[in-house]
């Protein structure tokens, strides 16, 4: 008869949420800082007061900024859930909700920090002369990119749960007695069973 394995003590829901969301927000803010330094500015030709026209090829930088943010969000959406999955005693719905909330909060933190850094790098020109070329700080063109990290994190947790062979989502360590007393490997010799 096999003995029941004792599961390690579980932390409170508030603690799990605070730890996972805190880690996600800190890592996302660091990625936001990186995005703020890497995202290229768009060069505009001032054609009238408070109006500019994008120079040839400069409109592509709007996509570059969006793609960099989406790529960073995707990376965090893969790394954070895998790191949280290592917390074996908390695997389950609570951990999933914490990862999801952390991903949404982290995306918002990366957005705010990244836009702040970009605004510091490329300050807005005060009353530029007509015909001059000014740099405009990079921006994320659509708020839909803020769900990339949460969607990726949800998919990663789903895959990790689906690949886990145990109903309780944990890998119990085998008893040393069970390892030594393992049955022999199956034989395809028809004389062995007689």
DSSP 143-159: GGGGGHHHHHHHHHHHH
Beta strands 133-136 and 51-54 are unpaired
Q: Which residues contact 12 (CB under 8 A, 6 or more apart)?
A: none
The total number of residues written for the chain in this structure? 194
Condensed to tens digits (0 to 9), the pLDDT of residues 144-157 reads 999 999 999 999 99
In this prediction, residues 96-125 reach a mean pLDDT of 93
User: Residue 123 — very low, low, confident or very high, per pLDDT cuts 50/70/90?
Assistant: confident
d(CA 152, CA 104): 11
Dihedral of the alpha carbons of 67, 73, 79, 81, in degrees to the nearest 10: -140
Condensed to tens digits (0 to 9), the pLDDT of residues 175-184 reads 555 555 556 6
The DSSP annotation for 95-130 comes to HHHHHHHHHHHHHHHHHHHHHHHHHHHSPPPSSPPT
pLDDT given for residue 156 in this prediction: 96
User: Residue 11 — very low, low, confident or very high, per pLDDT cuts 50/70/90?
Assistant: low
Whether the per-residue pLDDT at 30 is higher than 90: the answer is yes
Whether the per-residue pLDDT at 95 is higher than 70: the answer is yes
pTM of the full predicted structure? 0.75
Nearest residue to 21 via CA among 113, 98, 114: 98
């Amino acid at each position: 008869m096999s003995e029941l394995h004792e599961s390690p003590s579980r932390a409170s829901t508030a603690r799990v949420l605070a730890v996972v969301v805190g880690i996600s927000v800190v890592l996302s803010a660091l990625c936001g800082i990186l995005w703020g330094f890497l995202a290229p500015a768009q060069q505009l030709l001032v054609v009238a007061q408070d109006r500019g026209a994008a120079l040839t090829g400069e409109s592509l930088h709007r996509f570059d900024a969006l793609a960099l943010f989406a790529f960073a969000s995707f990376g965090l959406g893969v790394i954070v859930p895998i790191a949280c999955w290592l917390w074996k005693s908390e695997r389950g719905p609570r951990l999933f909700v914490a990862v999801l909330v952390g991903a949404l909060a982290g995306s918002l933190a990366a957005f705010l920090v990244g836009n702040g850094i970009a605004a510091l790098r490329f300050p807005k020109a005060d009353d530029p002369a007509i015909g001059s070329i000014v740099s405009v700080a990079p921006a994320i063109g659509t708020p839909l990119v803020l769900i990339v990290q949460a969607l990726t994190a949800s998919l990663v947790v789903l895959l990790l749960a689906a690949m886990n062979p145990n109903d309780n989502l944990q890998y119990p360590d085998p008893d040393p007695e069970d390892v030594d007393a393992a049955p022999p490997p199956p034989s395809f010799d028809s004389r062995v069973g007689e």
